[in-house]
A = this chain, B = another copy of it.
Amino acid sequence: MEPDLKEPSLHIWQQIVQTALREDRSEYDVTTQSTVLKEQVGTGVLKFKQNGTLAGMRAAETAFKYMDPGTLMSKVLPDGTQVENGSTIAIVEGTLQAILSAERVALNLLQRLSGVATLTTEMVSQLSQYPNVSVVDTRKTTPGLRSLERYAVRCGGGSNHRDNLQDGVLIKDNHIAAAQKRGVGISELIANVRRQIPHTLQIEIEADSPELAEQAVLAGADIVMLDNMTPDTMEKIIRSVRKSKQAEHVMFEASGGITNATIEAVAAAGVDLISVGALTHSAAAIDIGLDISIN
């Protein structure tokens, strides 16, 4: 098996989990500290309570271990698994205090990330006929959780768009308008950008009309984002543009309000990438339970 960029490093999980535990004041859990003895130990079973794609096991493990480094979590299923309702995904053993004080944070992250992964799987599975079309995320992620949500998208079978404003150029309508305002057209703009950015970056340009798409390609854009268009329009543009020699290596990304209902038609239009903001901004949490037995 080849490398797959999958798992963020431990420090990334730790930083987010620690922020969450502090927000919840887990070390000041008056209920647990006044009802449970320090010495009491238990076993918790993490179970999916609906079907879904698993993502974020490390979040749970990190939360439990933060409260007590002696806690052990055995993973039964790896991230990326499509889990059936009722299946056990992991077993955690340790002091009851640690398990109970970290429970909410562990579940909050696990449920949210599995929600993102599950929605991604749903979208991706519509495209089995289009193996060369990628479903990609956007920057419409939960503030503070982007690294983990991008990972959840990968767990669900999707791919990642740029991570942030530095590792990709995406020239949008307002950037173009700003240049036009000072008399700079698309070609000159792309040349100016290319001259300034690190040569390790591609240039993507958002086009909301066939004319702009064509212009962008002629001006040397590496990627064209077709924004909020019908599959028909996209297909026409791609067909027309592909004829020019410059477009040979250009990639096309479809974007804007694409849903389960429309994604297959969009893929059929001939795009290379389909970006879906809903993957991260509107995925519902997956219901996951923690059943604890006291040893």
Residues of A within 8 A of B (CB): 1-5, 7-9, 11-12, 16-17, 19-20, 23-38, 40, 42, 66-67, 96, 100-101, 104-105, 107-109, 111-112, 115, 134, 136, 139-147, 159-172, 174-179, 181-182, 184, 189, 192-193, 195-202, 204, 223, 249, 251, 253, 272-273, 278, 281-282, 284-285, 292, 294
Contacts of A67 in B (CB 8 A): 9
Q: Which residues of B contact A195 (CB under 8 A)?
A: 159
A53 to chain B, nearest CB (A): 16
**This chain's copy number in the assembly:** 6
A200 pairs with B24, CB closer than 8 A: no
Q: B145 and A144: CB pair below 8 A?
A: yes
- From B3, B142, B177, give the contact of A34 (CB < 8 A): B3
Closest CB pairs A-B (n = 3): A168-B200, A20-B143, A282-B284
User: Beyond the given A28-B147, A100-B172, could you list 13 further A-B residue pairs with CB under 8 A, ordered by the A residue number?
Assistant: A3-B34, A9-B27, A35-B175, A35-B178, A37-B178, A40-B182, A42-B178, A108-B139, A108-B141, A140-B285, A166-B166, A167-B167, A199-B204
Determine if B199 and A223 form an interchain contact, defined as CB atoms under 8 angstroms apart: yes
Docked pose: A141 CA to B144 CA in angstroms: 13
- In the bound assembly, the distance between CA atoms of A9 and B169 in angstroms comes to 19
B112 touches A31 (CB 8 A): no
Q: Would B111 and A143 count as touching, CB distance under 8 A?
A: no
